[in-house]
Amino acid sequence: MALLEYKCPACAGKLEFNANAGKVKCPFCDSEFDMAMFEQLDAALDSQVEENLSWQTASTDTWTDSDNAGMAVYSCQSCGAQIVTDETTAASKCPYCDNPIVMMGNLKGDLKPDLIIPFKLDKKAAKAEYTKHLSGKKLLPSVFSNQNHIDEIKGVYVPYWIFDSKAEASMQYDCTTVKSFNVGEWRVTETQHYKAFRSGSLEFENIPVDASKKIEDSLTESLEPFDLSQAVPFQTAYMAGYMADRYDVTAEDDAERVNARVKTSTERTFADSVAGYSSVAVTDSNINLKNGTAKYALLPVWIMNTTWKGNNYIFAMNGQTGKFVGDLPCDESLKKKITWGTAAIAAIATFAVGFLIHLFT
Amino acid sequence: MKKRALTLIMMLLLVAFSTVTVFAATTSTKKVIDNDGLLSSSEAGSLESKLKQLSNGIDMDVAVVTVSEIPDNYSQFGDSAARKYAHDVYEAQGYSEDGGIMLLICKATGDAAFSTMGKGIEVFTDSAQNSIMSAMRSDLSAGNFASAFDKYTDKVNAVYNDYAENNGEKPFRFGLLGGISSAIGALVGAIRSGSLKSQLRSVYKKDEAQQYIKSGSFKLNKKIDIETYKEVHREKIQKQPASTTETSSSGKTHGGTSHKF
């Protein structure tokens, strides 16, 4: 027979029932608790759910001979990317690493995309955004912007898994309220401890996670959001003039990444409902995903590469919204000058203000 | 632009330093009056310079007066005779009414008495005077007056610093302000260059999916908050120590204590 044990919420010591007082008492810190509180706690704990974060892939459609006709698949010998184009699109370099790519087999049997967001912005818009991206940045080495002219900008349909799900969560929090007041010659501080329970549900839709190993997750996540309401069923006709990366990460492999994001947002949303306390700490979190589905989609991205001082810099623009991202190099010697110059002026000003305050107060 | 800013700051500093004397409340009266000849001339000179420096630093008169006797007309005050005499000597010597402390020593009768005025009453409380006396009692009993007065100087300085710290009134500490200014300068410099460098970064991993929450989909079906236990912490409120005050022959208010050595 299992022996039921309760731990003291104040000191974690083993609690004992005091028959005379009709209360549960901690022999270590002398805290006393009403039985009603434990009944409420038991009831609240009984309705907690176990954590389960699993997904189902909605995509089942595969490329057929008729789909495959007119498509070409290239392989990059350097980074391993597999690039899909229609036969009329000339493809000679990898959009990710700028190395030569070679023609290889066909797509037969591969999973076919469910959705595609067609390119809305053209190469000219991408070049204009690149120029804008370089302007107004004080620490960008001037030689970088003067010497780096990106001639080849490639429109790439990047493979994504688009996740939908309903998250059911059951959360527990330790909370406190703190009151301080004076009683005669004493300063009294009262800390009231609470257990808070929250259960409920939350729905997520259209969370994009890239399905390519060649492109950094951080780069594709920085391009978000995409407006999936503008996505249309996939047709090869949209590929004309563009490349597409062949997916090499399954929805199951991407699930870990999307689960982490869903979990963080679910916890954050539930935590917002625990209000009016001085402190709130999560003690238990169980998140159960229901109806989790993943669709396979191709999303439009303009990609450009440049090499400077031996480092490869990759830039990308959301082909639907025009959001432009890409880290830039830093002029370290200028940074040092600005740091020390600012530090000297701020130190002198602080000293002067401090001295004046001392004199006039 | 930078040169102008530096020039302006230097001018502000010069103006600030040049105004220091305007706020001094100490008098130019001698701080050591050794009527009983307990100190050599070099000891008296050295003590004079220390007390002057201290007086200027804390903006109050800090003085030592030695006498060969307590006049007979003060005998009516019994045990308080030396203290009452000290109040009158304080005024007769013209020490500042805005703030000051004077130690009166009469070797012949073994009396030591303090007289305080103005801000000195607030700073040098009865318990503070007792602690000053404790620090120098053994030297006074042994006749080491120079050493006793050195301890008096140090202890007065320490009592003032404690008072200033507890009351947010701190003496100007060049090194401390210099250190704080340097730290703030370094922080501001790092923040500025960090902010400029952050403009070069636009690629970040996302750790949440907040923007993908379906509007109106958040539903709570359990919202329970249970009081578990209460912790109560009591702390005694510290009371400010006080000074006992009385009036001198002229009717002015003084603080002070009497001691024997």
Does A347 contact B184 at a Cβ distance shorter than 8 Å? yes
Q: Is the pLDDT of residue B133 over 80?
A: yes
A70 falls in which pLDDT band (50, 70, 90)? low
Does B209 contact A192 at a Cβ distance shorter than 8 Å? no
> Does residue B253 belong to any structural domain of this protein?
yes
Q: Which of the residues B7, B224, B239 would you substitute to probe the A interface, choosing the one with the greatest number of A C-beta atoms within 10 Å?
A: B224
> Does residue B18 belong to any structural domain of this protein?
no
- A-proximal residues of B, 207-226, CB under 8 Å: 207-214, 217-226
Q: Does B1 touch chain A if contact means CB atoms closer than 8 Å? A: no
CB B120 within 8 A of CB B107: no
pLDDT of the residue at A23 = 72
pLDDT of the residue at A108 = 55
In chain B, which ranges are continuous DSSP H helix?
2-18, 41-58, 81-92, 119-123, 126-141, 145-166, 174-198
Structurally, chain B folds into a number of domains equal to 1
Q: Is the pLDDT of residue A237 over 90?
A: no
Task: Give Cα separations from A288 to A148, A202, A267 (angstroms).
Answer: 49, 10, 12
Least confident of A145-159, A192-206, B5-19, B91-105: B5-19
Does A260 contact B207 at a Cβ distance shorter than 8 Å? yes
CB A334 within 8 A of CB B196: no
Instruction: State the CB neighbour count (10 A cutoff) for residue A361.
Output: 8
Residues of chain B neighbouring A273 (CB-CB closer than 8 A): 220, 223
Residue that is written with structure tokens 């493979």 in the block? A159
Q: Which of A185, A193, A328 is opposite residue B229, by nearest beta carbon? A: A193
Tell me the mean pLDDT in the region A219-245: 86
Q: Which has more confidence, A19 or A323?
A: A323
How many Cβ pairs within 8 Å bridge chains A and B?
Answer: 239
Instruction: State the CB neighbour count (10 A cutoff) for residue A58.
Output: 17
Question: Which CATH number fits the domain that encloses residue B106?
Answer: 3.10.310.50
A2 falls in which pLDDT band (50, 70, 90)? very low
Instruction: State the CB neighbour count (10 A cutoff) for residue B148.
Output: 25
Least confident of A250-264, A299-313, B160-174: B160-174
Residue that is written with structure tokens 């409120």 in the block? B237
Q: Which distant-in-sequence residues (6+ apart) come within 8 Å of B78 by Cβ?
A: none
Indicate if the alpha-carbon torsion angle B93, B98, B103, B104 is positive or negative. positive
Least confident of A27-41, A292-306, B120-134, B223-237: A27-41
Tell me the mean pLDDT in the region B135-140: 93
pLDDT of the residue at B140 = 93
pLDDT of the residue at A67 = 64
* Strands B245-247, B253-255: pairing kind: antiparallel
Residue B245 φ/ψ, nearest 5 degrees: -120, 155
pLDDT of the residue at A50 = 59
> Does residue B21 belong to any structural domain of this protein?
no
> Does residue B146 belong to any structural domain of this protein?
yes
Residue A141 φ/ψ, nearest 5 degrees: -55, 130
Burial string for A309-339 (b: 16+ CB within 10 Å, else e) reads eeeebbbbbbbbbebbbbbbbbbeebbeebb
Q: Does B4 touch chain A if contact means CB atoms closer than 8 Å? A: no
Residues of chain B neighbouring A292 (CB-CB closer than 8 A): none
pLDDT of the residue at A144 = 83
Highest mean pLDDT (candidates A92-106, B156-170, B203-217): B203-217
Does A350 contact B180 at a Cβ distance shorter than 8 Å? yes
Q: Which has more confidence, A6 or B157?
A: B157
Least confident of A1-15, A160-174, A194-208, A214-228: A1-15
Q: Is the pLDDT of residue A246 over 80?
A: no
Q: Does A138 touch chain B if contact means CB atoms closer than 8 Å? A: yes
Q: Is the pLDDT of residue A63 over 70?
A: no
> Does residue B209 belong to any structural domain of this protein?
no
Token pair listed for B242: 């006080």
Does A189 contact B16 at a Cβ distance shorter than 8 Å? no
pLDDT of the residue at A47 = 60
Q: Which of the residues A28, A140, A202, A286 would you substitute to probe the B interface, choosing the one with the greatest number of B C-beta atoms within 10 Å?
A: A202
pLDDT of the residue at A212 = 87
Question: Average pLDDT of chain B?
Answer: 86
Q: Which distant-in-sequence residues (6+ apart) come within 8 Å of A159 by Cβ?
A: A113, A210, A211, A212, A244, A245, A246, A247, A296, A297, A298
Least confident of A201-210, A309-318, B107-116, B187-196: A309-318
- DSSP annotation of B72 reads G
SS3 of chain B: helix, strand, coil, percent, to 5? 50, 20, 30
CB A246 within 8 A of CB A142: no
Tell me the mean pLDDT in the region B239-254: 84
- A-proximal residues of B, 55-74, CB under 8 Å: none
> Does residue B156 belong to any structural domain of this protein?
yes
Residues of chain B neighbouring A260 (CB-CB closer than 8 A): 207
pLDDT of the residue at A29 = 78
Give the model confidence (pLDDT) of B21-54 as tens digits.
334 456 778 999 999 999 999 999 999 999 999 9
Does B218 contact A345 at a Cβ distance shorter than 8 Å? no
> Does residue B205 belong to any structural domain of this protein?
no
Q: What's the farthest any 2 CA atoms get from each other in chain B?
A: 97
- A-proximal residues of B, 116-175, CB under 8 Å: 170, 172
Q: Which has more confidence, B232 or A145?
A: B232
How far apart are alpha carbons A148 and A275 in whole angstroms?
A: 52
Give the model confidence (pLDDT) of A115-134 as tens digits.
999 999 998 999 999 989 99
A265 falls in which pLDDT band (50, 70, 90)? very high
Min distance A122 CA to chain B CA atoms (Å): 22
Tell me the mean pLDDT in the region A5-20: 70
CB B156 within 8 A of CB B62: yes
Token pair listed for B92: 């007769």
pLDDT of the residue at A139 = 93
Print the domain residue range for B40.
Answer: 26-171+243-260
Residue of chain A whose alpha carbon sits nearest to that of B16: A356
> Does residue B233 belong to any structural domain of this protein?
no
